[in-house]
Amino acid sequence: MSEQQSGEIAAPYGTGSASPAKPVKRVRTHHLREMKERGEKVTMLTAYDMYTAATFDEAGVELLLVGDSASNNVFGNETSLPVTVDELLPLTRAVARSVKRAMVVGDLPFGSYQASPEQGYLTAVRFMKEAGAHCVKLEGGAEMAPVIEKCTRGGIPVMAHIGFTPQSEHTLGGYRVQGRGEQADRILADAHAVQEAGAFAVVMEMVPADVAARVTKELDISTIGIGAGPDCDGQVLVWQDAFGLRTGRMATFVKQYADVHGVLLEAARAYADDVRGGSFPGPEHSF
């Protein structure tokens, strides 16, 4: 596709790379809009390090979220609450450095944006400037509209996150489906509020499928579901759940595509057996 056709021109001031190779086109917010118009589904996974990021990028996943779920999936905490901006920034930087096409979403952790729009903006700037994120995600609906507005006016694309919001698990009374019965109006109001405030997409977590379908139909921006049924514009899963690195009880909305834990376990056992039995290293591994 020519520059004229795509509407995107080559970087006018150089990109820091001397490579003459044709650049791979980065996924941008307008691509999501166009995908929604064409009825094409958007794919999103979490990633927290260079190899998973590069692999998911190679697979063509459009959005990589360096989620605050790193708290429980990388740092060993029980919930997403303890993880800090300083812990997430290096993970986000590693992911951003490792992708060619995917849009990297930096996730603002608990306590780093709720105090004021100024606090939210300054934290979001750190993710964009220090880590190279292409946009940020934050949790909350109508009450977060001023933060979303401040960030988008300040040049930072925002993905909102409504329905079940893990950072508020103590106010929400634990992991519960949000938006059942009369609560559906609240989900719809939140979805419209974040769109009005300028969000380019919205994650809906643990929302009844019919409510998520209605939101998706009413909004112009993309909806990304996790436990929100099949009618959202896209889907997201935490990769350790989807590909089986984490074991144990999974949420109903998780589909397991691989058994990475099993593969690693076998490999680690085979290695340990070889070392103990003296067959590794062999002459071919020695100088």
Catalog residues that contact ligand KIV under the rule CB under 6 A: 46, 65, 67-69, 107, 161, 203, 226, 236, 238
Q: Give min distance, CB of 70 to ligand KIV, in A.
A: 7
User: What angle do helix axes 145-153 and 184-197 make, rounded to 10 degrees?
Assistant: 20
Task: Please spell the DSSP secondary structure of 153-168, one letter per residue.
Answer: HTT--EEEEEES-GGG
Where are the alpha helices (H) located in 39-130, listed in sequence order?
50-58, 70-73, 85-98, 117-129
Sign of CA dihedral 199, 2, 39, 57: negative
CB nearer to ligand KIV: pick between 27 and 160 = 160
CB nearer to ligand KIV: pick between 145 and 236 = 236
Contact criterion met (CB below 8 Å) for 133 and 113 = no
CB nearer to ligand KIV: pick between 138 and 193 = 138
CB nearer to ligand KIV: pick between 80 and 152 = 80
Residue type, 98: S
* Residue 246 token pair: 């984490």
Find residue 205's DSSP bridge partners.
Answer: 163, 226
Just list the catalytic residues: 205
Q: Give min distance, CB of 71 to ligand KIV, in A.
A: 8
Q: Give min distance, CB of 61 to ligand KIV, in A.
A: 14
Q: Give min distance, CB of 3 to ligand KIV, in A.
A: 34
Longest dimension (CA), the chain: 71
How many CB atoms sit inside 10 A of residue 97's CB?
A: 13
* Residue 115 token pair: 């105090």
